[in-house]
Amino acid sequence: MSQPVLVTGGSSGIGLAAVALLAERGVPVFATVRTVADAERLAARPGVEPVLCDVRSDDDVARLRAAIDERGAGLWGLVNNAGVGQVGHLTTESMQDMRDVFDINVFGVHRVTNAVVDLLLESGGRVVNMSSISGTLSSAEMGIYSMSKHALEAYTDALWAQLRERGVHVCAVAPGNFQSALATNFVQRVLVGGNPSEWLLNAYDPDFDLTRSQYPPADAVASVCYHALFDPNPHRRYLVTPDADESLMTLRQAAMELLELNRAASHPCSHEELHALLDEATAPMHEQEGAAAASASDG
Ligand SMILES: NC(=O)c1ccc[n+]([C@@H]2O[C@H](COP(=O)([O-])OP(=O)(O)OC[C@H]3O[C@@H](n4cnc5c(N)ncnc54)[C@H](OP(=O)(O)O)[C@@H]3O)[C@@H](O)[C@H]2O)c1
């Protein structure tokens, strides 16, 4: 049996799908939840140990670490999945809105990762950060959410660079739109329990379907997490969308950023050099890592 994996935000949506898949495949799972009812529901699944934890709280995260230590089996993987959505215009959203989202989507990831990183270094394990296509895209209505996911992408790159030499692989998963409680939770947190902006109050349609039932279930994202956790050659980035349109939209934005940067660069690449860059980037990751290691030892 493998060492356990910790999944944050296991109560619904992508986190729950990941917990279910891991448990089904015999991987012991620690799953964070925030209510006793969710803990009882998850505890009914064989192999799943729910832990009450709000990722904003140092004390909760210390208790989470204690629960992992108590099991005494170390830790193979961490899926930093807990997160919240945010809709609103940047010019009317408060600093508090921004702090709330960053506290969960960015600082929460940092807090949990640092609490268990020594265990991952011991096991030579994996970190999977749940980013989003909003880690590449940004729109007028999703500014704060996109900022948080862009930050998570940068966090992932820095952590990857820091830990790769020490045997821990770090990656980002960027899902498109899948079924989850993201919209319902946003309405509860901001419209019901928070301080909604004037813009949001005007834009909100109470007949809007919050269930996201028009999107597929999150199983495809869970499968990608499994690959990132256990495949011998994990990727650095996974883009997983319900259809080709969402992928294309995301890749087009990434390409536009490359071209915009190049267009106004002090030392722009030629057309041929850009093509060579793409060829380089499409080489399998282990070849690139081999080449990078060779050039590092040459230098
Ligand atoms: N679904 C999508 O289409 C989609 C697309 C791109 C990225 N994502 C990302 O996927 C991740 C999961 O979202 P989801 O769509 O599955 O939404 P979800 O169903 O709302 O799940 C979010 C999870 O995060 C937990 N959470 C929220 N605030 C927390 C906190 N302060 N401390 C600990 N846990 C907290 C929630 O717990 P409670 O139940 O207690 O609130 C829930 O378990 C998020 O990072 C999201 O940004 C989702």
Q: For 68-98, how does the pLDDT look when each residue is reduced to its tens digit (9 = 90+)?
A: 999 999 999 999 999 999 999 999 999 999 9
pLDDT score for 282: 80
The domains of the chain are located at: 5-244
The residue to mutate among 81, 238, 239, 246, having the most atoms of ligand 1 within 8 angstroms of its beta carbon, is 81
Q: Is the CB of 185 under 6 A from ligand 1?
A: yes
Pocket test for ligand 1, best of 8, 14, 58, 106 (most atoms within 8 A of CB): 14
**Taking Cα atoms as reference points, which of 78, 70, 75 lies closest to residue 110?**
78
Residue of 233, 222, 214 lying closest to 173 (CA atoms):
222
Q: 113 in helix, strand or coil? A: helix
Q: Which CATH superfamily is domain 5-244 in?
A: NAD(P)-binding Rossmann-like Domain (3.40.50.720)
pLDDT tens-place string over residues 162-196: 999 999 999 999 999 999 999 999 999 998 998 89
Alpha helices (runs of H) in the chain, residue ranges in sequence order: 13-24, 36-43, 58-71, 95-105, 107-123, 143-163, 182-186, 198-203, 219-230, 244-263, 271-282, 285-298
CA atoms within a 13 Å half-sphere pointing along the CA-CB vector of 200: 22
Note the pLDDT tens digit of each residue in 94-118: 999 999 999 999 999 999 999 999 9
Active site residues: 145
